[in-house]
Amino acid sequence: MKILTAKHKILIVGSGPVGLSLAVELTRRNIPFRIIDQGSGPTPENESRALGVHLRTLDILTPSGIADTLRAKGNLITKIKMTRDGRQFAVLDLSKHPRKDSAILSIPQGTTERVFLAWLAQHGVVPQWNTTLIKLEMDADTSIAHIRSANGETEDQAYDYIIGCDGAHSIVRKSAGIDFSGRTGDEQWSLVDVEYINEIDPHTGRPNFLTGNGVIVAIPINKNLVRYFSSGSNVIKLIPDQENIRTIHWQSTFQISYRVVETFQKHSVYLAGDAAHIHSPAGGRGMNLGIEDAAWLAWLISEKRAAEYSNFRLPVAQKTIRETFALTDQITNETMLARLLRGTVLPLLLKIPPIRTRIFNNLLALDTPPPPWLK
């Protein structure tokens, strides 16, 4: 086997939102790398997938200027109205948070990825699509990537850093023998993106608790388009205002898994995003957490402190998984206690400013460690 010394020291495997954000953060620090993806291009624009971009993520993407572009293309959600069978019982008004720009940015994942790609293209970086990491061989000293290129040729390259941003089924993680334990629930959840004929309020999210039918959550994408997701397998039949529906853009079902790696790093292999952690979509934390991983890793590489990466990120991922589990339990649980907490205790807590700020910090992902490079 002929092993080539790679032109760059860093290989990013995967050009999803996490690989692309890592590419952005390395590029703006003038750190060269190679980025590959087995797919032929970004997430289709009609598949909204990771829809919510949180304040922490926007802060991270501010130095590159990408946050401004995302804000210009997205829709700000500033209120969350909670209802039971359509009757309102609590309002989370994000304008009451101390930060003036407090909101959740709603923007389809395919659009977010295209903003990253356009920024990278302006800086001379284009991912190598249709290029697959077949496997990885590593020991304490070297890591060799076996790669198949778009034209079918294979190559073996040695890298100092191989960074797996290759999603939940990560080959990088499996090749490195890093454990990804946890569990997958049995329940089928469903989501759908619905276009309405008449305009809707684009700035208000609406979780509606349906007696005997779980929960349905509405997240506006723009003034005519809404994402609904439900704890049941047939979200479409639960959608209100059916006569106002023009068309369905995209729908999918999914099961919720909670898994986290035992370590984010082994020798010269690093993991970020879904390759390292997957959890419930409640709270919309998945992609945001992955973009944080990527930004921390880029900073640590630039500081020559990459060996500290797992110590920084593992506790954050573990905490987020605990929180999304608790939130999912809270929104799906129909016991008397859960209903009392939601319907009576929550509205009272929202009236107490320090507690309200803590609740909102969690919602805006401001409860993760602040990035030190943004001081």
Ligand X SMILES: Cc1cc2nc3c(=O)[nH]c(=O)nc-3n(C[C@H](O)[C@H](O)[C@H](O)COP(=O)(O)OP(=O)(O)OC[C@H]3O[C@@H](n4cnc5c(N)ncnc54)[C@H](O)[C@@H]3O)c2cc1C
Residues contributing to the site for ligand X (CB under 6 A): 13-19, 36-39, 49-51, 109, 132-133, 165-167, 171, 252, 254, 273-274, 281, 284, 286-287, 290
Residue 157 phi/psi, 5-degree rounding, is -130, 140
CB of 33 to ligand X, least distance (A): 14
CB of 23 to ligand X, least distance (A): 11
- Cβ proximity to ligand X: between 89 and 325 the closer is 325
- Cβ proximity to ligand X: between 98 and 329 the closer is 329
Report the distance separating Cα 364 and Cα 53, nearest Å.
Answer: 9
CB of 224 to ligand X, least distance (A): 19
- Cβ proximity to ligand X: between 48 and 208 the closer is 48
CB of 174 to ligand X, least distance (A): 10
CB of 49 to ligand X, least distance (A): 4
- Cβ proximity to ligand X: between 18 and 356 the closer is 18
**CA-CA-CA-CA torsion sign (283, 49, 125, 172):** positive
- Cβ proximity to ligand X: between 82 and 272 the closer is 272
- Cβ proximity to ligand X: between 64 and 170 the closer is 170
- Cβ proximity to ligand X: between 327 and 349 the closer is 327
CB of 375 to ligand X, least distance (A): 27
CB of 112 to ligand X, least distance (A): 10
